[in-house]
Copies of this chain bind each other. A is one copy, B any other.
Amino acid sequence: MQLDQASTEQLREWESALSAQYEEFKAAGLNLDLTRGKPSSEQLSLSDAILDVLGHDLSNETNTDLRNYGGLDGIAECKRLFAPVLGVSTDEILIGGNSSLTLMYFAAMFANHMGFGDLGKAWSDGGQTVKFLCPVPGYDRHFAVCEHLGIEMIPVSMNDNGPDMDEVEALVKADASIKGIWCVPRFSNPTGIVYSDDVVKRIAELGKVAGDNFRVFWDNAYAVHSLSDSAPELANLMDACRKAGTENSVYLFGSTSKITYAGAGVAFVGMSAANLKAFKHHLGMTQIGPDKINQLRHVRLLQDSNGLAAHMREHAAVLKPRFDIVLKHLNEGIGDSGLLSWTAPEGGYFIAVDTLPGLAKQVVAMAADAGVKLTPAGATFPYGKDPQDRNIRLAPSVPTLEEIDRAMQVFVTCVKLASVRQRLG
């Protein structure tokens, strides 16, 4: 189906056939959902041993009573387990509660309002406007943190190898009030791409050209979440920073939300020793310490990097067939017609598609009318505004294979029908 070579008559025929198909879907009373970037119950069950892995044995290497207060930065064995996930040393990591979003929020809030201890003043010191770069499409909860803290967001383009670094570098050089950038470097949310080694190197070097106290918010949410062993690796950001002398310019985040239990995992942040000192000072004003017992549960369950890798292969076995169905429908139903462009992620939780300009909202609405819920168009952009109205995020982890199959039939029909109607004018 090549719209630009089709006659009006051909377009009308397609419109008629697609409409009939669409009305059939509508009549079927479907109730399908491709919105939720969370693990399925089947995936959660992979970690059920965590519920009783401790027994009553709380022995730990520092020989402290984990039931009591204390230990703001988490337990040593948990640091050792997760430091390699972020690619930092065990002196450069803090293990927190169940939410990396909370660690990100605190890091941005402390930086904005309180400053960096010995390293520097608050971003908002003197009442100046604070800005962040937001590669788009991106993760709506990152954008919500900025909006909540009154940080102005500047969208920058995403390429297949990461953010457009020419654009990023030009922006930070030109405007010292740009204080941060959001990055999901491996299996990016939502495009699924992995930042190239060159992009990682250039990100590490931003600390040399950006304004005072610039920080990269490196949300490595899918660090170990590949669909196969051959998925591209991510270069080590902290190592690149050490080479560039910019260790203080990056905050690295991760969690087990999509490793163990989404709601009852542990989160962690990697920082230079100097950043960590300032961060811990601030964090200590908000809490006495994390749930250390749940940290020990994670260590007992996952054991070490090998245990973690084996565990993630089990997740991949559940997820990969779901991604495959989505891609099969896109390849077979859309192909090289030009109606959609998309990436074929090798990990993560999402497949992002771009419709023809101006059609994303309409496709999402049409799918909803036919009983297929999709993430609202625009959600992947700051302030919910996709300037070209093109991007749609598909999240196939929760539905069954049959549900995804059905939902993708509807989706492809909606894309084609909306495109044909747009062409007809």
Contacts and interface: CB of A to CB of B under 8 A. Distances in A.
B65 A97 contact: no
A56 B294 CA distance: 16
A263 B66 contact: yes
Give the contact-size bracket for chain A.
35 or more
A68 B97 contact: no
A84 to B, nearest CB: 25
Interface string A383-420: 00000000000000000000000000000000000000
Contacts of A286: 99, 101-102, 105-106, 145
16 contacts: A48-B56, A51-B58, A52-B52, A67-B264, A70-B263, A97-B97, A99-B286, A101-B286, A101-B287, A101-B288, A113-B113, A144-B285, A148-B282, A263-B288, A263-B291, A294-B294
Contact of A109 (B38, B67, B70, B109): B109
B290 A98 contact: yes
A417 to B, nearest CB: 33
Q: Chain A interface secondary structure, helix, strand, loop or mixed? A: loop
Interface string A286-328: 1111111110000000000000000000000000000000000
Contacts of A44: 65, 67-68
A38 B69 contact: yes
Interface of A: 38-39, 41, 44, 47-48, 51-52, 54-56, 58, 65-71, 97-99, 101-102, 105-106, 109, 113-114, 127, 144-145, 148, 257, 261-264, 282, 285-294
Contacts of A102: 286-287
Contacts of A262: 67-69, 288
Contacts of A66: 263-264
B54 A51 contact: yes
B54 A98 contact: no
B285 A105 contact: yes
B51 A65 contact: no
Contacts of A263: 66-71, 288-293
Nearest to A281: B148
A56 B71 CA distance: 29
A294 B264 contact: yes
Given A97-B291, A291-B291, A291-B294, A148 B285 contact: yes
A68 B71 CA distance: 26
A54 to B, nearest CB: 6
Given A55-B51, A293-B264, A294-B264, A38 B68 contact: yes
Contacts of A109: 109
Nearest to A290: B98
A17 to B, nearest CB: 40
Given A257-B69, A261-B68, A55 B56 contact: no
Nearest to A150: B113
Contacts of A287: 98-99, 101-102, 105
Contacts of A48: 56
A401 B54 CA distance: 31
Contacts of A293: 51, 261, 263-264
Given A41-B65, A52-B54, A144-B285, 6 more contacts: A44-B67, A44-B68, A99-B286, A99-B287, A99-B288, A145-B285
A52 B41 CA distance: 22
Given A98-B290, A263-B288, A285-B144, A68 B56 contact: no
Contact of A52 (B56, B69, B289, B290): B56
Contacts of A144: 285
Contacts of A71: 263
A57 to B, nearest CB: 9
A383 to B, nearest CB: 14
Contacts of A101: 286-288
A65 B38 CA distance: 12
